[in-house]
């Protein structure tokens, strides 16, 4: 199973090249049967003017991890995945370190999927709670 896990993470990380995920330094670090975890450094690139993590950067992390999870768990050969709605409640500020987003499936329909994404810091403090709805669209 470790070999499959490593292969999935490698594909996810390679797909981030020349994208916003690369700009934000998002890295996919763990995957399981119904979840994906990504991490992002907290530094001046993602700060708001007063030196804390920008809420928009957290939403970008959440949507990136949730959409990538949809891609993993769906038939990506025949379908595109797109985010169609995201909501976020930011509950704690972060100034430095790393944040970790864990996307867990709530509903996996044929067309739409609903993801719960929790963002935590390295000490497991809850930073943000997000919900993402994705849609699978046929490539044909």
Residues annotated as catalytic are 63
Enter the tokens of residue 133: 């709805």
Whole-number Å distance between alpha carbons of 139 and 80: 6
**Alpha helix positions (H), the chain:** 2-14, 20-23, 55-73
User: Of 48, 85, 96, 45, which Cα lies nearest the Cα of 63?
Assistant: 85
């Amino acid at each position: 199973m470790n070999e499959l896990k490593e292969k999935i993470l490698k594909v996810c990380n390679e797909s981030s090249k020349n994208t916003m995920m690369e700009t934000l330094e998002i890295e996919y670090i763990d995957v399981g049967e119904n979840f994906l975890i990504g991490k992002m450094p907290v530094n001046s690139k993602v700060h708001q003017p007063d030196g804390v993590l920008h809420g928009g950067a957290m939403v970008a992390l959440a949507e990136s991890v949730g959409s990538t999870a949809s891609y993993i768990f769906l038939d990506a050969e025949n379908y595109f995945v797109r985010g169609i709605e995201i909501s976020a409640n930011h509950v704690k500020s972060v100034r430095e370190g790393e944040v970790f987003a864990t996307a867990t499936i709530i509903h996996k329909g044929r067309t739409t999927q609903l993801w719960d994404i929790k963002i935590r810091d390295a000490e497991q403090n809850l930073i943000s709670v997000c919900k993402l709805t994705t849609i699978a669209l046929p490539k044909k």
